[in-house]
Structure 1
Amino acid sequence: MDPEQRPIGWWVKRLDTLLDEAVDAVVAGEELTRRHWQVLHSLAEGPVQEPALHTGLGDFRSPGDLAVVVADLIGRGWVVSGHRGVTLTPDGVLAHDRVARSVGRIRRHVADGLSRQEYERTILVLDRMVENVERALGRR
């Protein structure tokens, strides 16, 4: 099929699959997955209450997936869960920073050949499409 004939959904799913594969490949040395990275990165700004963490990462997980990832990160000593929410430990901050360098390389590869304006415009277009579909589904 000619690339211009593929619907937007095909491109979005294909890109997401490739991003999963690429991030999984660069974090595999730490015995992590993309989901681990998403949790670590979400916590890098500071503590997050578990319901907010589930909401923020809801589109990227299957049921029970996030609890398993958080439990694994707790077991590694990278994350703690308490009254302030889920937060990175000092070892977790170091792990985040280490993994962030590898994931940053993937992010740069994704944008290869795109100007900053093209990348920003792509994000705006995808955001508008999400808004349109959410509105059509009665979610906005």
Structure 2
Amino acid sequence: MERQRPVGWWVRRLDELLERGLDDVVAAEGLTRRHWQVLDSLAARPAPRADLVAALASFAAPEQVDAVLADLAARGWLAGDGTTSLTAGGRAAHERVAEAVGRFRRRVADGLTAEEYAQVVHGLARMVANLEQAPAQPRR
């Protein structure tokens, strides 16, 4: 029966499981997935608020990003005026969470070779590109 389900069903189910699983992982640190996304973005490089809002636009409204930034700042994990960066405490928190997130990601891809994983990602990216490039179909 599972083979009869369309790709949309699998994508939605996977998204639900990824959200729940990652939420569980970061909750151990008292965080949400949005906290993790901001921490991980800032671990890569300091960024102004506008860049973080743009990077998370598909996941969170600007006021949600602001709430996450305020919470992380209250924890002493952020520094900066205009451009936000991680403090030493923020870097330590990122490292702790990154280790747990890495374990979760490995669990997600368990049983897939690197090539199979790359093919799955490539196929999903192609489907997204197809739909983004397609002209809007009129509703009936």
AA matched with 1:21: R
* TM value normalised by structure 1: 0.89
Does the Cα contact within 8 Å between 2:53 and 2:62 map onto a contact in 1?
no
SS of the equivalent of 2:85 reads strand
Which residues in structure 2 correspond to 1:1-140 (within 5 Å)? 2-62=1-61, 64-83=63-82, 85-136=83-134
CA RMSD, 1 decimal: 1.6
1:26/1:53 CA distance change after superposition, 3 Å:
same
SS of the equivalent of 1:9 reads helix
C-alpha distance after superposition, 1:80-132 (max 9, x if no partner): 3423x121111100000011110101000000000100001111111111111
1:111/1:132 CA distance change after superposition, 3 Å:
same
Percent identical among aligned pairs is: 50
Does the Cα contact within 8 Å between 2:53 and 2:65 map onto a contact in 1?
yes
AA matched with 1:40: L
C-alpha distance after superposition, 1:14-56 (max 9, x if no partner): 1111111111112212110111111101111111122221111
SS of the equivalent of 1:101 reads helix
Give me the whole-angstrom Cα distance separating, in 2, the residues matched to 1:77 and 1:22: 26
Give me the whole-angstrom Cα distance separating, in 1, the residues matched to 2:55 and 2:119: 23
AA matched with 1:15: L
Runs in 1 of length 4+ with deviation above 4 angstroms? none
**1:7, CA displacement in angstroms?**
2.2
* TM value normalised by structure 2: 0.89
Q: Which runs of 5+ in 1 are unaligned?
A: none
Q: Which runs of 5+ in 2 are unaligned?
A: none
Task: Give the greater-gyration-radius structure (CA).
Answer: 2
AA matched with 1:59: S
In the alignment of these two chains, the number of paired residues is 136
